Amino acid sequence: MPLPQLWRQFKKNRAAAISLYFVIAFILAAIFASELSPYDPFALGDGALLAPQSDHWMGTDDLGRDTLSRVIYGTRVPLLVGFLATATSLLLGILIGSTSGYFGGLTDVILMRVTEYVLVVPRFFLALLVVAMLGTGIMKIILVIGILGWPEIARVVRAQFLSFREREFVLAARAIGASHAKVIFKEILPNAIPPAVVVASILVARAILLEAGLSFLGLGDPNLVSWGSLLSEAQERISASVWLAIFPGMAISLLVLCVNLFGDGINDVLNPKLRKK
């Protein structure tokens, strides 16, 4: 389907279209954080633990830092982790899923057994363990979350490969002597991309929540502001200074909500069959 037509189709889902605008707004906020923030997010201010007021719309923390500025800067880490980790999962999942589905046999059995294991293991515990032992840092967090997300992608890609492997156009390509690589990437993979993208949209939302969880437990990147670490700082003072927790939490929830609704919209466009189901 050409792009303008896809867009017209997508717009029919109003919630998804509005969510897309919100996601774009979040991305712009992340890019232009230094222009948008009224204060330096790390600068110690004169008033500590101020409740929300005209100078500080979201109040200040115990060191007098402006919460609004910290929430705006905090947009960067979740978005970066959400998208890059999911890109990693997509890459790995497509590679493993297509190998498994295309070649079948023992390769398939082994790869699917590994996939099943990763699905069963408590992945958040695994992420905590790895980050705690190997050290924090945003690249490590992205890699860990990305690597843990591949099984969901691999499964849908494999299912597509299984159903397309014996179709006429694939058999025809093989008959005229196309290499395995060519059949996989040129013939079958394009058909496996749409369902993989739909799963990926769910993974973005999950990666954002996972990063928030890691940061909340003190395993985020210590040099960056993240909504999860803001909530962790808020935890000690929650009874007296509830605004420290309210705004970062609302930001996470809103972003995750928008990503999920946007994913629903993509699902409607790319998988009309699934929708009817």
Partner 1 sequence: MSPTNFILRRLFHAIPLLVCVIVFNFILIHLAPGDPIQALVGEFPAPEAYVAEMRRAFGLDQPLYVQLLLYLKNVLTGDLGFSFYYRQPVASVILDRVPATLQLMVPALIFSAVVGVLLGILAARKPYSISDNAISAFSLFGYCVPAFWLGQMLMVIFSVELGWLPSQGIKTVGVDLDGWSGFFDRITHLLLPFGALAIRHLAVNARMMRSSMLEVAFEDFVMVARAKGLAEKDVTARHMVPNALMPVVTIIGVDVGFLFTGSVLVETVFGWPGIGRLMYESIVKRDYPVLMGNFLITTALVVAVNLIVDLVYLWLDPRVKYKK
Instruction: Tell me which of 72, 92, 154, 209 binds partner 1, using CB under 8 A.
Output: 209
Min dist. Cβ of residue 249 to partner 1 (A): 4
The residue from 28, 63, 91, 132 that contacts partner 1 (CB under 8 A) is 132
Give the separation between CA 237 and CA 248, rounded to whole angstroms. 14
Q: Smaller CB distance to partner 1: residue 88 or 241?
A: 241
Q: Which stretch binds partner 1 (CB under 8 A): 3-11, 82-90, 128-136, 171-179?
A: 128-136
**By the rule CB under 8 A, 246 interacts with partner 1:** yes
How would DSSP label each residue in 113-148? HHHHHHHHS-HHHHHHHHHHHH---HHHHHHHHHHH
Rounded to whole angstroms, the Cα distance separating 23 from 268 reads 18
Considering beta carbons, is residue 159 or 217 the nearer one to partner 1? 217
User: What size, in residues, is the chain?
Assistant: 277
User: Reduced to 3 states, what is the DSSP secondary structure of residue 221?
Assistant: coil
Whether 207 and 82 have beta carbons less than 8 Å apart is answered as yes
The residues pairing with 90 across neighbouring beta strands, listed in sequence order, are none
Q: Which is nearer to partner 1, 23 or 188 (CB)?
A: 23
Q: Which residues bind partner 1 (CB under 8 A)?
A: 113, 117, 119-126, 128-130, 132-135, 205, 209-210, 212-213, 216-219, 231, 234-235, 238-239, 242, 245-246, 248-249, 252-253, 256-257, 260-261, 277
